[in-house]
Amino acid sequence: MSQTLSSLARLTLRQLRQIASDLGVPLYSRKSKETLVDEVALRQQKRGGDLKAIEAELNAPAVSTSDTRVVFLPRDPQWAYVFWEISEADRKVAQKEGASRLCLRLADVTGMEDGNAHPHTLQEVPVDSHSTEWYLPVPLCDRDYRVELGYRIGTTWMSLAFSSVARVPALHPSEQILDQFVPFSLDAAPAEPAAAAPVAPTESSNSGLHERLYQSATVHFRRRRVGSEEFQEGFDTSGDSAGLNDSGAGLWASGRNESGLGGVAPRQRSFWLVADAELIVYGATDPSARLTIGGEEVPLSTDGTFRIQVPFRDGEQMYAIEATASDREQKRNITLNFKRETPEDNSNPASEARAEWF
């Protein structure tokens, strides 16, 4: 029995799970290697077989695979699990070439195409030549990686297989905020205002709010000037004078009554308004690159993105953006030009609000 246990202990966890599956061991995928060794040996003993036959069965040669393959599975932001199979033909070729050790190569391929990898990111990890699985430490999370399996032959490299590209998750939630823009069309003419019954506003009813604000900001009132006073005219489809007297001045034109005495007491109130605009400049480049805007270096996030908010004041503003590769041999640039005008400004902050009579 002790010889059988020692033979089982030399097997890998995957081999033990395969044997446990054939013997009908329940929940074998959730049990540790020590537990599987005991249960497999116990079930083999219950079958009444000869220990030597059992040991021969357990040490039977593995089925040779026709293709060499390697699988890369990120486990968490800091570790990844890799397992592989090497065909007998590749093993013989490696032995013939004098292969000294089996290795795994981890490469960062974030944003790369055609099988390329970022320079200076390749890591070579020697592994046991008889092993079929390994845990690899991940140098940087929230990146795309690929693993290459091969043999180190002196100073040369013999490649066997590549894994698929897999994304290692980020350690923390992303701090990037996606801007949501409200679509509207400048081609369609603004609809004529129609009389409608008032509807009580609700917190969740915001349909058409942005379009109404846009129309309010772009549709101007028709104005007329009488002497030194300027009035805004509205239109009434019903055709009546909407409370105006014969002179068109209205009953409360003076703020009191017709004679200008009493009726409505004068009131005093302060009022204020503040409004401004900002520019959001954003983009992405290679994480190892150096990015400048107007000659000033801008830090990049781990995935190579950048996002800055800058004031948008009156006048012309020009932003020259340039990215330089880490080897300083490649450059990309773009220049953005903006212009702002404020035709009217009657705003004031709350600290400068003054009481007015009206």
pTM of the model: 0.38
Residues 6+ apart with CB under 8 A from 312: 276, 277, 278, 279, 338, 340
Q: At what angle do helices 33-46 and 13-23 cross, to 10 degrees?
A: 40
For residues 280-305, one letter each, b for 16 or more C-beta atoms within 10 angstroms of the residue's C-beta and e for the rest, the string is eeebebbbebbbebeeeebebeeebe
C-beta separation of 124 from 286 below 8 A: no
Structure confidence at residue 353 (pLDDT)? 79
- Cα 31–chain centre separation: 37
Q: What is the pLDDT along the chain (358 residues), one digit of tens a residue?
A: 555 666 777 777 777 777 887 777 787 777 888 888 888 888 777 765 544 555 555 554 444 557 899 999 999 999 999 999 999 888 889 888 888 789 999 999 998 887 788 877 888 999 988 788 999 999 889 899 999 999 988 888 999 999 999 999 888 776 666 555 555 555 555 555 555 445 444 444 444 555 555 555 455 444 444 444 444 444 444 444 444 444 444 444 444 444 444 555 556 677 888 888 888 888 999 999 999 988 888 888 888 898 888 788 888 888 899 999 988 889 999 999 888 899 988 888 888 877 777 5
What are the phi and psi torsion angles at 72 (to 5°)? -110, 120
Spatial separation of the C-alpha atoms in residues 39 and 54, rounded to whole Å = 14
Spatial separation of the C-alpha atoms in residues 336 and 291, rounded to whole Å = 15
Spatial separation of the C-alpha atoms in residues 135 and 122, rounded to whole Å = 16
Structure confidence at residue 69 (pLDDT)? 92
Spatial separation of the C-alpha atoms in residues 355 and 358, rounded to whole Å = 10
Structure confidence at residue 317 (pLDDT)? 85
> What residue spans define the domains of the chain?
2-58, 69-168, 278-340
Structure confidence at residue 328 (pLDDT)? 87
Task: Quote the tokens at residue 17.
Answer: 């799970």
Domains 69-168 and 278-340 share a fold: yes
Structure confidence at residue 45 (pLDDT)? 74
Q: Which CATH class is domain 278-340?
A: mainly beta
Structure confidence at residue 330 (pLDDT)? 93
Structure confidence at residue 321 (pLDDT)? 92
320 beta partners: 335
The hierarchical CATH code for the domain 69-168 is: 2.60.40.10
Write down how long the chain is. Answer: 358
